Each structure stands twice: as C-alpha cells, then as structure tokens.
C-alpha cells in the first residue's frame, strides 16, 4: 500500500499542517507503509495560478503509483487532489482542521465572527461559488476526516455530507512531560504562540491586557510569539497604548524552544474567534500549564470541566478570567483540574487509526 500526502507546507516550514504531515509520514513509514509527500514548499515565488498548476503536475506524477491520495486542506491541495483522483481513479481522503472561506473572510476584514456565526449568515455571489466548489470536492471524497465534532456538524449541515462518510480523528497529545507543577512566582509572563492574523483576535487581547494592568499590582507581561500580516498593526496598537515595555512580539522559534517558553510562562492564552483543534492548547495541557482558551473550540466538550474558557467577543470576560488566574489559589486549583485530563492519546494511536482506515479503502 502506498499513500500520497498532499499538504500545503512541510518542514522546515512551520505550522500545524506541516508538523502533522511530517509526523504522520514518519510514523507510517516506520510501520512499513510507503508514503510520499507533495507540498508547496518550493513554489513560493511562483504566480498563484502557475503555482497551483505545478502543484497539480507534481501530485499527478506521484499519484500514478499510489493507492490513496490524502489531502490536508480543501482548496490549495484539495482541488488538485480531487482532479488527480478523478483522472487516475484513485481513492481520495480529506483531512480538515481549518476553514478556507471563513478564514479568508476574517483576514480580508469583511467579518469578525466565529466559524458558526459565519455559516449562519447570507453569502455573496463569490462566496457561493467557493461553497459550490467545496461541496463538490467534499462529496467526491471516500472519507472526510475532521479533527473535531465542531467542524463536522457545521459541514454536515451546510454541505449535505452523509454521516457514514465522516470520521473524527482528534490531534494527539505531544509525547513530552512537564518539568514541574510549581507556580512560577517570579515570571508573570502571559504567553500566546501562533500566527499573527486577524482571526486570532490579538488586538482585543492587547487592549484587554492594558485594562488588566490597571486592576493589578502584579508585574505582568504579555508575549506574542509568531509571524503574520498583522504584526505591524499590532505593534502600532502596542505603541498607541504605551505598552512597549509590557507587550513583546517575537518571531517564531523552534519547537523545543517554544516548549521551554511555555514552561517558564505563568499561563498561556488563545483568544481566537474559533480554534477548531488547537495544538498550542494540547501542548499546554501536556505540560500542565494553565491556559485561557476560546470557548469557540472543537475541544470544548472534551475539557469543559478541566480548562477555563473565554468568550472571544467579550472583553470583560477575558479581563475577568485573566485576573482570576493571577490569584495563586485559583491558579493552583486550575492545575489540579488539569491533572484529571487523560493525555495518553498519542501519535501511535493516530497512526494505527489511519492504517485501519486505509485498509478499508484498499
């Protein structure tokens, strides 16, 4: 059996899809499953239509000798994979951990809504065109793998997907362990790590942080680690609020360095409008580091009694939850709740489930 992974990025490029593709490819090869990967890594400088066509050709060439084409998104990889599967009559799998259309609308500044809110609202002619393409690709797949029930239920409703075509395969916990459970009494750093884009809701976070500083005597700082198109506007907002010495933006760092940054922080925060399956949160859970996480997330139902969730559209709620965690008793209570989260679900489990799924299609 030979599997072809169609991914937008692959290491050394950073990001969730990149790391997921790398880990899955390595684990499948360890178990004797022939696995090849096609990414956009070497096509950055090409014009968009040309880039898409070259990606299709690369995918088509590799797909000839593969039994299954497995794509990690719906448009940039999903469309070329769809065409290859139809021409070559190959089995076709889609894994979804994001939403192209919603993300695009948020980043263009057209909306500031959660994923659920976006799909409830009327769509423009162009959006309807993209929705039509997405539905064609989705319904041509042999199986659609979702990383959470949140996105699965939305897609079943708006794309008329049959239940038997879907499977939920959540992201695994990292395989490292926390160094300690001690309260970091010196370093009151609040940490965000991820892309610097609009849907991460970072401007609201910075503004809320400014108000938190007015309510506490603790010498807190906020660190944002990541890269993206919003960096300049965030830096301007920090300057406008006079927070240059309190809010720090750093470029993306290697994964092992990020883990150390999580460990030394007081707590972490992820205030996104929606997070379908946040790896950053799973890393915090594995490291026993308290995190304030958007309630609009695919892991809410799993951990609603163990984690503290925030309303990403309510600045007051975010402020009160930050102040709550700055109290040492509340902080220690949070850690005790986190200890009840089972974290044994690993890459080995994910790989075995993939292999079982592949066997049903070949």
The residues near 237 (Cβ < 8 Å, ≥ 6 apart) are 203, 206, 207
Bigger pLDDT: 12 or 156? 156
Say what the pTM is: 0.90
Flag whether pLDDT at 289 surpasses 80: yes
Q: CA–CA distance from 230 to each of 114, 197, 285 (Å)?
A: 18, 5, 27
| 27-67 residue pLDDT tens | 999 999 999 999 998 887 778 778 999 999 999 999 999 99
Res. 12 pLDDT band, cuts 50 70 90 = confident
Q: What is the mean pLDDT of residues 304-309?
A: 97
| 260-283 residue pLDDT tens | 899 999 999 999 999 999 999 999
Res. 342 pLDDT band, cuts 50 70 90 = very high
Q: What is the mean pLDDT of residues 72-98?
A: 95
Q: What is the mean pLDDT of residues 294-307?
A: 96
Contact 286, 176 (CB under 8 A): yes
The residues near 126 (Cβ < 8 Å, ≥ 6 apart) are none
Q: How far apart are CA 237 and CA 253, in angstroms?
A: 23
Contact 205, 318 (CB under 8 A): yes
CA-based nearest residue to 212, from 312, 322, 324, 290: 322
The distance in angstroms from the start CA to the end CA of the chain is 8
Residue in the structure block whose two tokens are 């499977």? 167
Res. 235 pLDDT band, cuts 50 70 90 = very high
What are 13's two structure tokens? 């490029």
The residues near 144 (Cβ < 8 Å, ≥ 6 apart) are 93, 94, 96, 138, 155, 161, 165, 166, 167
CA-based nearest residue to 271, from 208, 203, 200: 200
Contact 226, 255 (CB under 8 A): no
pLDDT of res. 186:
61
CB atoms within 10 A of CB 348: 14
Res. 255 pLDDT band, cuts 50 70 90 = confident
User: Which residue segments constitute the domains of the chain, with CATH numbers given?
Assistant: 2-172+345-361 (3.40.50.2000), 189-338 (3.40.50.2000)
| 173-202 residue pLDDT tens | 987 766 554 555 567 999 999 999 999 999
| 91-137 residue pLDDT tens | 999 999 899 999 999 999 989 999 999 999 999 999 999 999 999 99
Contact 116, 165 (CB under 8 A): no
pLDDT of res. 180:
53
What are 25's two structure tokens? 């490819």
Q: What is the DSSP string of 210-277?
A: HHHHHH--S--EEEEE---TTHHHHHHHHHHTT-TTTEEEE----HHHHHHHHHHSSEEEE--S-BSS
Contact 166, 152 (CB under 8 A): yes
What sign results for the dihedral spanned by CA atoms 162, 19, 338, 203? negative
Q: What is the mean pLDDT of residues 337-355?
A: 95
Mean pLDDT of the chain: 93
CA 315 to centroid of chain Cα atoms? 23
What are 208's two structure tokens? 């809320």
CB atoms within 10 A of CB 116: 15
The residues near 25 (Cβ < 8 Å, ≥ 6 apart) are 5, 35, 37
State the angle between helix axes of 202-215 and 315-325 in degrees (0 to 180), rounded to the nearest 10.
50
């Amino acid at each position: 059996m030979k599997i072809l992974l169609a991914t937008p990025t692959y290491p050394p490029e950073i990001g969730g899809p990149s790391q997921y593709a790398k880990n899955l490819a390595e684990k499948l090869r360890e178990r004797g499953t022939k696995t090849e990967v096609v990414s956009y890594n070497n096509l950055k400088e090409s014009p968009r239509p040309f880039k898409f066509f070259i990606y299709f050709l690369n995918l088509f060439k590799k797909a000839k000798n593969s039994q299954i084409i497995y794509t990690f998104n719906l448009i940039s990889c999903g469309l070329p994979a769809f065409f290859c599967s139809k021409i070559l009559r190959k089995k076709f799998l889609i894994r979804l951990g994001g939403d192209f259309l919603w993300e695009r609308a948020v980043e263009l500044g057209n909306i500031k809504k959660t994923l659920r809110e976006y799909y409830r609202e009327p769509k423009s002619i162009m959006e309807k065109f993209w929705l039509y393409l997405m539905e064609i690709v989705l319904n041509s797949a042999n199986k659609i793998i979702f990383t959470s029930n949140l996105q699965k239920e939305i897609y079943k409703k708006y794309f008329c997907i049959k239940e038997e075509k879907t499977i939920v395969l959540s992201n695994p916990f990292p395989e490292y362990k926390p160094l300690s459970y001690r309260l970091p009494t010196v370093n009151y750093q609040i940490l965000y790590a991820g892309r610097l884009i609009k849907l991460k809701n970072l401007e609201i976070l910075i503004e809320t942080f400014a108000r938190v500083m007015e309510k506490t005597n603790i010498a807190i700082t906020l660190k944002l680690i990541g890269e993206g198109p919003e960096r300049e506007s965030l830096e301007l907002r920090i300057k406008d609020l006079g927070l240059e010495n309190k809010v720090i933006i750093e470029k993306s760092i290697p994964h092992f360095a990020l883990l150390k940054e999580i460990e030394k922080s007081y707590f972490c925060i992820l205030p996104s409008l929606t997070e379908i399956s946040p790896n950053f949160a799973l890393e915090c859970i594995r490291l026993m580091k308290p995190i304030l996480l958007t309630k609009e997330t695919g892991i809410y139902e799993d951990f609603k009694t163990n984690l503290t969730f925030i309303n990403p559209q309510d600045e007051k709620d975010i402020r009160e939850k930050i102040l709550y965690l700055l109290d040492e008793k509340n902080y220690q209570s949070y850690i005790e709740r986190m200890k009840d989260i089972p974290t044994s679900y690993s890459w080995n489990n994910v790989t075995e489930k993939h292999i079982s799924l592949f066997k049903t299609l070949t």
